[in-house]
Structure 1
Amino acid sequence: MARNLDAKCRQCRREGEKLFLKAEKCFTDKCSIERRAYAPGQHGQKSGQRLSGYGQQLREKQKIRRIYGILERQFRKGFAEAERKKGQTGENLLQLLESRLDAVAYRMGFGGSRAEARQVVRHNGVLVNGKRVNIPSYSVRPGDVIQLTDAAKAHLRTKAALEAADSRGFPEWIEVNAKEARGVFKALPAREELSSSMNEGLVVELYSR
């Protein structure tokens, strides 16, 4: 299966902000953005470089792709589906990304990062409405019950991720019982509930060229 093998901290530095790709490290002063807040590479420290309109659109698309850990083909497929749905295409796209099983598992604290949550899903560690699902891109629907298997609950990293997520709090659109490693996907998130650092409008402009 194809995947992005680029160093995660370099991805954050390239986008100039925390993408939370390295679990708990991102919440400490060891985060590379805290120590080297400039783009990677020999020209990374040069300032004053202005992006064209196309460059800004491309960077925003790359940033959102990296946040959710998906490849270009998957992203284009999601955008096409968002266009077909009623409502604003950009908001539809973010809702589709947030309803992926790996994204929901991450939000519920089943992994310290989306990559960890995706691994838990692939290793048959997640049940959806009592049935085992190991497809990270599986679309979760409002009302679905997501929980860890007994084997996955016993893993130390999973326990640590759940405790950390519980201490930080969970988003409004999900309801989680951390002790039982079980949650309910209550509804699709509203745009105002998602990060304001994402500008999905630029992605819509990019694909509308």
Structure 2
Amino acid sequence: MARYTGPVCRLCRTEQKKLFLKGDRCKSDKCPINKKRPAPGKDPKGRIGKRSDYGMQLREKQKLKRIYGMQEKQFAIFFDRALRMPGVTGENLFMLLERRLDNVVYRLRFAVSRTQARQIVLHGHVMVNGKVVNIPSYLVKPNEVIEIKEASKGLTVIKDALKEFGKAGVMPWLHLDPDAMKGTFLAIPRRSDITDLADIKEQMVVELYSK
């Protein structure tokens, strides 16, 4: 499956939820969700109330996949890995998704969106424990240090993104030194720690893949 290259605001309208795919625009008055624009397509109101159990499960999976910016095959691989881990599958899936390097770079405020974080990683601007890692799906381990390499610390896109740290800080399982552009992944978060995605019903995703 090819990566989606269309207007990302359309994806938020489809889910009728902010997926935070465009950074600052998602927090501005320009956001179509803030404007209460309807879902794309003909007669979106006519589809309300006609969604089956399968349809609701599919929407939850699509929301989660789009939030983390993953393709279908990638997401299925992560789900299969979560299924084989001990514990609750839905919670395991969130733990794996939060450990992705592109997500950690976004959470550390080095990027304004996960899409931008993926590009920063792919272009070799990020180091893990002193070595450049350019694989967005790399799974960060507890106590690993993630930092912007010295030659990339002057990039405007990263410095602008870091301004958000002063407003909102970082998640409790992370530590950031904004001046050094260096952060530490302190621990794998529990599902209850991921408060900004509390409305995602991961059990529906599990039920979908269990069919």
Q: Determine if the TM-score, normalized by the shorter chain, exceeds 0.5.
A: yes
Gapped regions of structure 2 (runs ≥ 5)? none
DSSP-derived class of the 1:32 partner: coil
- Stretch deviating more after TM superposition (126-135 or 170-179): 170-179
Using structure 1 for the length normalisation, give the TM-score. Answer: 0.96
**Separation (CA, whole Å) in 2 of partners of 1:149 and 1:114:** 19
Q: How does 1:105-116 map to 2 (within 5 A)?
A: 105-116=105-116
Conserved? CA contact 1:60–1:203, under 8 Å? yes
- Rounded Cα–Cα distance in structure 1 between residues aligned with 2:124 and 2:97: 21
In the TM superposition, what is the alpha-carbon distance from 1:128 to its structure 2 partner? 0.1
Mapped partners of 2:152, 2:200: distance in 1: 32
Q: What is the rounded CA distance, in whole Å, between the counterparts of 1:119 and 1:50 in structure 2?
A: 38
Q: How does 1:11-90 map to 2 (within 5 A)?
A: 11-46=11-46, 48-90=48-90
- 1: CA distance, partners of 2:167 / 2:114: 18
State yes or no: 1:182 paired with 2:182: yes
Distance 1:48 1:79 in 2: 29
Between the aligned partners of 1:20 and 1:177, the Cα distance in structure 2 is 24
TM-score (norm 2): 0.95
**What are the equivalent positions in structure 2 for 1:86-97 lying under 5 Å apart?**
86-97=86-97
Q: Which amino acid aligns with 1:203?
A: V
Match of 1:206 in 2: 208
Deviation at 1:165, TM superposition (A): 3.3
1:56-80, Cα deviation, whole Å (9 max, x unpaired): 0000000000000000000110000
Report the identity percentage.
47
Question: What is the rounded CA distance, in whole Å, between the counterparts of 2:13 and 2:168 in structure 1?
Answer: 24
In 1, the alpha carbon distance for the partners of 2:38 and 2:91 equals 29
Question: Structure 2: how far apart are the matches of 1:199 and 1:18?
Answer: 15
The count of residues paired between Structure 1 and Structure 2 equals 209
1:2 CA drift (Å): 4.2
Return the offset for 1:48.
Answer: 3.5
CA contact (8 A) 1:120 1:152 kept: no
> Is contact 1:107–1:171 with CA below 8 Å preserved after alignment?
yes
The 2-side partners of 1:72 and 1:58 are apart by: 12
More displaced 10-residue stretch of structure 1: 42-51 or 120-129: 42-51
Q: Would the aligned equivalents of 1:126 and 1:148 in 2 still touch at CA under 8 Å?
A: yes
Give structure 1 stretches of 5+ with no counterpart: none
Which residue does 2:199 correspond to in 1? Answer: 197
Q: In the alignment, is the contact (CA less than 8 A) between 1:109 and 1:166 conserved in 2?
A: no
Cα distance, 1:161 vs structure 2: 0.5
User: Does the C-alpha gap of structure 1 residues 153 and 44 become closer, same or farther in structure 2, counting only changes over 3 Å?
Assistant: farther
